[in-house]
Amino acid sequence: MTMETQIVGCSKDGLSRAKKYIEEGEAVAFHTETVYGLGANAFSDEAVLKIFALKGRPADNPLIVHVHRDYELSRLIDGEPSYAAALRKAFLPGPLTMVYPSTGKVSKYVSCGLDTLAVRVPSSPAAQAFLREVDLPVAAPSANLSKHVSPVTARHVFDDFNGKISLILDGGACSGGIESTVLDCTGKIPQILREGLVTREMIAAVAGDCLVYKRKEGEKPKSPGMAYKHYAPRCKTAYCHSAAEAKALYAKESEQNGKPCILCESKAAAELAGYDVLDLGGTGEAMAQRLYALLREGERRCTLLIGIEPTLRGGVMQGVLNRFTRAFGGNYEA
C-alpha cells in the first residue's frame, strides 16, 4: 500500500494529526534528541506489529516504549531498585533507556516475549509535545529500514519511508545523534546493554557502580538488537586505521573509475588535503552528532566510503566507536 507521506512541524495541527494516526493504529515518525523514532500505540498488537513490518525488523529485536515526563510509570513497570529512581532523577528526560520488569500491560510484541520492558522519556521538546498529545506509551525503534543508518533529520526518515507512512513530525536535526544508552535495571547493579550519550562514568557517579554487558561466545545477547548488522551505508565500505592506508584505498578506487570518499575525525582530515573527506569533528559529542548524517551523505555521493577509526577515546566515544565500526561491518570491543 502506498500513501502520501507528509512532513509537518509540531504545530497544534501537526500534533493533533499525529494523535489521530496513533489512535487509529498507524505509525508516526517523530523527533527525539537521539535519532528519529517510528512510533505506534504500545497497547495495540496490530500497531506494534506494523512497526516490525514497516522496518523489516527481525521479530526478536524488542522495541523501546516512549512516554512523556509525567506519565505514570507504575502502569508499565513492576517496581524498581533504589539506584534506578536516582538515575531517573539525574538523567530523565534524556537519552537513557531503562529496562525494568514489565507489568505486561503493553502488547507482548513490544518486548518480543521477554518479561522486561525498555522505557525511555525523551527530552526533546518535539518528542515531549507529541507524547503528551497522545498520552499513551509509544513503542518506537529508530525510524530507518532495518540495518540502514539511523535517521537524524526528517528528510532521512522520508528517504526510507516515503509512501509507507502518513506523517513525519519534524523537530529539526537531532542534537545527540546516536541512539540512547540502554541500561538493564533488573539486577543489583545497573548494567549497560548498549552504549550511548549517558556514559558508564555518568551512571556510576549516581548509582555507585555500573557494569557494561559483554556477550560471551555463543551466548544469546541480553539486548537482541546488538547482535545484528547495523547502521550500514548503501555503498561499498572499507575500514582502516591511518590516513596512509586510506590514501592507498582511495587511489585504487579512483583508478577503477569509482568515486571514493573518506570519513574520519578532524585530526586525520588535516592529513588529507585534496581528498574528498567527510569530517566527523574533534570531540566525542561532535562525532556522535555527525556520524549518521555523514554516513548517509557518503552513501549518496560515493561508490566507496573509507572509514578511518577515530583515535579519540573516553566519554561518549565508546558509543560512537560501537556504531562507527558496525557501520563498516565490524564489531567494536574496547
> Rounded to an integer, what distance in angstroms lies between the CA atom of residue 123 and that of residue 96?
10
- Residue 311 CB neighbours (<10 A): 12
Cβ closest to ligand AMP, residue 114 vs residue 249? 114
**Cα angle 15-18-24, degrees, rounded to a multiple of 5:** 145
Q: Minimum distance from CB of 146 to Mg ion (Å)?
A: 8
Give me the residue whose beta carbon is nearest to ligand AMP: 225
- What length is written for the chain? 334
Is residue 61 a contact point for ligand AMP (CB under 6 A)? yes
We find the least distance from the C-beta atom of residue 295 to ligand AMP, in angstroms, to be 15
Q: Does 111 bind ligand AMP (CB under 6 A)?
A: yes
The residue range among 19-27, 57-65, 123-131, 293-301 that interacts with ligand AMP, by the rule CB under 6 A, is: 57-65
Q: Supply the minimum distance, in Å, between the C-beta of residue 184 and ligand AMP.
A: 7
Q: Which residue is nearest to Mg ion (CB)?
A: 142
The one of ligand AMP, Mg ion, none whose footprint includes residue 116, by CB under 5 to 8 A per kind, is ligand AMP
Site for Mg ion contains 142 (CB under 5 A): yes
- Residue list 66-105, contact with ligand AMP (CB under 6 A): 99
Shortest Å distance, C-beta 150 to Mg ion: 6
Residue 118 Cβ, how far from ligand AMP at the closest point, in Å?
Answer: 3
Contact between 58 and ligand AMP per CB under 6 A: no
Does residue number 171 form part of the binding site for ligand AMP (CB under 6 A)? no
Cβ burial 227-249 (10 Å sphere, 16+ → b, else e): eeebbbbebebbbbeebeebbeb
Please choose, from the candidates 318, 68, 80, the residue with its C-alpha nearest in 3D space to the C-alpha of residue 202. 318
Binder to ligand AMP among 94, 176, 196, 225 (CB under 6 A)? 225
- Would you tell me which residues interact with Mg ion (CB under 5 A)? 141-142
